[in-house]
Chains A and B, each alone.
Chain A
Amino acid sequence: MANMVRRHTTSARLWRAGLYTLLIMAALVYLLPLVVMLLTSLKPLDDIRAGGLLSLPSTISFEAWSKAWGSACTGMRCNGMSGYFLNSIAIVVPAVAISSLVGALNGYVLTKWRFRGANLCFALLLFGCFVPFQVVLMPMARTLGWLGLASSTSGLVLVHVVYGIAFTTLFFRNYYVSIPDEMIAAAKLDGAGFWRIFWRILLPVSGPIITVTVIWQFTQIWNDFLFGVSFAGFDSQPVTVALNNMVNTSTGVKEYNVDMAAAMIAALPTLVVYVLAGKYFVRGLTAGSVKG
């Protein structure tokens, strides 16, 4: 499209200079919170009181990071974020694995083994993407209590699997639809059965969609706060809930550098995934929302 702008006139040059200025300014605005978060987390407390938001630290200190990780107080406990970070991992890993696997199988059946009512079935599942979770909180709390899973990590895994299936099914279904049915028909003629076809034909070409799904689920579950705050106990709280508690703990001197270090710790896993696999992250976002 840009080739329409004639490059040689002065006005065109001005237009491009303005364009770059605008884009770079916007980038700075988007970066500001991250930069401030990082700078603040590396400053001693005295620097924070003395200097402005963007002033450089007088000495770079990782003390706030180690305190945030190991000994900062969240509510009444003072063990830092480390335990909650591990809680989040213990919730995320099984929940992502199970929901992705179930989604893959659902997508496979709903596209390659269509039965009467398959479309209705898909529509019913899909609504799970849209339901406001406030509607399910109270019944879920009761159910988890009855199942003996209240306040447990397994309970949170269950919740995330249950409400993740809608998205994972959507992802895999939309991907498998584009795989030619002839391949399946040929395999069936050769005598391959349900599992064999899935294992030998579908899975080997599923790399991209598995990546998209795993990243999407990982980000969603890692960043979850509502389920964590509603259903977790002291020993199963995810990192987002701990972060919120830490920031709202109002005993003693407020250590903003520790707060920011804790926020960085909570943010790092998803940020790293985004930087490493941004393409798949974006694809998940657009597929998960546009096609909904």
Chain B
Amino acid sequence: MPSKVSAPASGERRHRRSLAGHIERVLPRLVVAPSLGVALFFVYGYMLWTFLLSLTNSRMLPQYDFVGFAQYARLFANERWHVAATNLVVFGGLFIVSCLVIGLLLAIFLDQRIRQEGALRTIYLYPMALSLIVTGVVWRWLLNPGLGIQAMVRGWGFEDFTFNWLVDSDMAIYTLVIAAVWQASGFVMALFLAGLRSIDDSLFQAAALDGASLPRIYTRIVLPSLRPVVFSSVMILAHIAIKSFDLVMALTGGGPGYATDLPATFMYAHTFTRGQIGLGSASAIMMLCGVLAILVPYLYSELRGQRHG
């Protein structure tokens, strides 16, 4: 928090020492102070609080008998945590790569003077307006083996068609990827489209005059200049993946068994339903570390970019 030392006195002479002037001078800080206080307490204070809880043996209720890093040792020995962490890598990796590929392709295709571009864009992007709970409920219905896509294709005469990932503990994690990509790929498309539109057209014309083919123009000129968009997309998508909780709850409930657990659902289950607050807090801190691991390099490069720009 900025110190309450009075503002630089120079240049504010009109206000002199009058009370009104004094209030006027500190008013801006007074206006921001509550927000800052809220952030210090509800964000930074809570991070510290959760960290402290992760060092305790808290079960049903928080208590403060410190046991050092024992909960972290338990966490890393916990098989369910390993499943959750592995799932996050699988889910996050596939989710990010699929969104980037689909988003980029759609953006390039849409950028070819397409009629009705606005309508198509609206269609690709609308899932982003939905709650992940709605997305989960709908896809659970589509992926229901008895009544969803599998039943529909079998009804068309392909009796052997099987698409029962939702109830297959080896494949269920991929249903999360499908639903999440459906939800977020249109958003990545919008980011890429904005990026494409900001590329100078004269670059294209020059390359075309030189006789470069369209694919060549895209791989040599367009893709490199989209690097910042790729970077921020990855960062946003990774952030969505780490926080993913709603989708799992609505689509698979973490099941079959705990085959589709993610760190977010692991944390929730242990903290609120299994009476393992210490362990749950440790997992929350690990999630925070995950976010920081993505965020810090991103901010670093952003700031460095600003200095160069």
Contact = CB atoms under 8 A, between A and B. Distances in A.
A74 interface: no
Interface string B81-108: 0000000000000000000000000100
Nearest to B150: A53
Interface stretch (A56-64, A200-208, A272-280): A272-280
Interface in B169-223: 182, 186-187, 190-191, 194, 196, 201, 204-205, 208, 214, 217
Residue among B39, B110, B155, B253 having the largest count of chain A Cβ atoms under 10 Å: B39
A3 B24 CA distance: 58
Interface residues of B, number: 103
Contacts, number: 266
> From DSSP, what is the main secondary structure of chain A's interface residues?
helix
B67 interface: no
A76 interface: no
A288 B17 CA distance: 42
Interface residues of A, number: 94
B148 interface: yes
A1 interface: yes
Interface stretch (A89-97, A104-112, A147-155, A174-182): A104-112
Contact of A135 (B126, B245, B288): B288
A223 to B, nearest CB: 4
A127 to B, nearest CB: 6
Nearest to A51: B155
A247 B136 CA distance: 10
B28 A113 contact: yes
A4 B120 CA distance: 22
Contact of B36 (A27, A124, A290): A124
Contacts of B80: none
Given A132-B287, A166-B39, 6 more contacts: A27-B124, A135-B284, A135-B288, A139-B45, A223-B130, A266-B134
26 contacts: A1-B113, A4-B214, A19-B112, A33-B135, A52-B151, A53-B152, A106-B32, A117-B2, A132-B264, A132-B288, A134-B245, A134-B287, A137-B267, A137-B284, A139-B49, A194-B24, A194-B28, A243-B133, A243-B137, A259-B141, A267-B134, A273-B129, A274-B129, A278-B125, A289-B232, A290-B236
